Amino acid sequence: MATISTCLTVTPHSRVFSHSRSPPRSPGPFLQSPGFLRAVPRRPRVSVPAVRAGIDVGRVIRPGGAVETDKLPSDVRKRTMEAVDACGGRVTVGDVASRAGLKLNEAQKALQALAADTDGFLEVSEEGDILYVFPKDYRSKLGAKSFRIKAEPLFEKAKAAGEYLIRVSFGTALIASIVIVYTTIIALVTSSRSEEDNRGRRGRSYDSGFTFYFNPVDLFWYWDPYYYRRRRIQADDEKMNFIESVFSFVFGDGDPNQGIEEERWKLIGQYISSNGGVVAAEELAPYLDIDSVQGLQDDESYILPVLLRFDGQPEVDEKGNIVYRFPSLQRTASQKGKRKEYVGRKWADWVGGVEKFFKEKTWQFSKTSTSERAMVIGLGGFNLFGVIILGTMLKDMTVAPSSFIKFVADIFPLLQIYAGSFFAIPLVRWFFIRKRNADIEKRNKIRKQCAKVLELPDPSLRQKLFSARDMAQKTVIGQDQIVYSTDKDLLEQEYEAREWDRKFRELERSD
């Protein structure tokens, strides 16, 4: 394959509008002919947006050198590769943006990096669309070049191991605190009695006025002797063991909506693409955060984040209705996943794997069972009680402390902090969860109401939806529409280029 250095200047829609080249031989004179731009009625030059992005084809397809994909965020790379696989390895920027829920510029940069690292190539259609084509083994080629991709599984395993150690450390600290506290109490009681025996005052109670007896064998009872049997019973269940349940009770189990924003943008992009790139604002309201369903048709500012992400633009139909067109999502290289929405019928109960409105999950205080939670609270209270008693005994201690008791006295502030935070953190978290869940339920309720508005649209909304469908336009770019490919030698395309140039010149003369 010949190496060329060609610069294609494109809009965010991945359309070709100007062409400059080096060396003198051109991959296609038709691309630089003024007649080429005038011969494309769908995208006249005067309508090109001011924002442009440059693609250096020679850099994109040149093998070797730095691994461009390593410069991408991991989630952007993974989502882009999943979209490429879903589309069969031949994609436009709009395909990746809609399927992966990425911004157009993110999708474009990711595709350029992948093409550079995996021997991918570009195709140009008759109307100037840029398509990225990847070999079937592009993943293995990328893995062979990128140390980061090889090391990522190890880092993920190490991260998972670290997270597990953190989870079990808090539960282990509870057991250790109980052992230290009550062992120290026993040592203080024993030493106090020994001192009394030496003074001939056997049977006198401790100076603090508190008599305490503790059998070390009892520690095994407090350590839940049937825990291992219960763990074996629950081995095939999703329930956590006792040590993990301590962390779950104190700190919770993480955000239940982690990664849900990614899913939200995937749903929005796929919905727009499947409806021909033209939608009404009310159609996207069930996926967005709306303050109120009242005045939904009067104030459509809630759709601005979608317009910014997918480069949408408002259009007014003949009857004055405002709809939104997304040109980048109207051009596709894949026929997979085609779906048509019909105005006037109810939505499917499940679309894209979620309900007909975007639903956030509410937070749980803890995933522990009732029995596990009761045991954690019991042990936490037992530890707190022991810390209070130990504090009183250390304050009133009259005997010379041993090295162990001195050590415990030094770390006693840490034991107090641990025992107090064991209940203070869950209490504060409980109040925050109540407030957060109230907000989530409010947003879900509004989105559900927006979905119901679409199920039974009023005449004005129905007219707007019909107008959006009439203006919808989706073009699948097949191989028969490709006029130039960086995968072929220039000489193979020279004859076709001359023929195209001759035809366009004839069109110019006829004008």
pLDDT tier, 195 (very low <50, low <70, confident <90, very high otherwise): low
Least confident residue range of 9-23, 317-331, 397-411:
9-23
pLDDT above 90: percentage of residues in the chain: 34
What's the confidence (pLDDT) of residue 219?
39
pLDDT exceeds cutoff 50 at 80: yes
CB contact at 8 A, 28 and 116: no
In this structure, whether the domain defined by 5-145+478-510 belongs to CATH 1.10.10.10 is answered with yes
Residue 372: how many other CB atoms lie within 10 Å = 24
Mean per-residue pLDDT for 261-286?
92
pLDDT exceeds cutoff 50 at 352: no
Q: What does DSSP assign to residue 105?
A: H
pLDDT tier, 413 (very low <50, low <70, confident <90, very high otherwise): very high
CB contact at 8 A, 277 and 307: no
Two tokens at 5?
A: 């250095």
**More confident: 233 or 439:** 439
Return all residues near 164 (Cβ < 8 A) that are at least 6 apart: none
pLDDT exceeds cutoff 80 at 375: yes
What's the confidence (pLDDT) of residue 199?
55
* DSSP string across 183-228: HHHHHHHHHHHHHHHHTT-TTPPPTTS------TTHHHHHT-TTHH
Q: Which residues on neighbouring strands pair with residue 6, listed in sequence order?
A: 21
Domain-wise residue ranges, the chain: 5-145+478-510, 169-253+364-422, 260-360+444-471
What's the confidence (pLDDT) of residue 182?
93
- Which residue has tokens 């709306």? 290
What's the confidence (pLDDT) of residue 168?
83
Mean per-residue pLDDT for 267-272?
92
What's the confidence (pLDDT) of residue 160?
83
pLDDT in tens, 476-504: 888 888 877 777 765 565 555 666 666 66
CA distance 252 to 431: 13
Mean per-residue pLDDT for 378-393?
92
CB contact at 8 A, 296 and 453: yes
What's the confidence (pLDDT) of residue 291?
83
pLDDT in tens, 41-77: 333 333 333 333 344 444 444 544 578 888 889 999 9
What's the confidence (pLDDT) of residue 499?
65
CB contact at 8 A, 267 and 100: no
Instruction: Return the top range by mean pLDDT from 3-7, 45-49, 176-180, 298-302.
Output: 176-180
Round the average pLDDT of the chain to a whole number and report it: 75
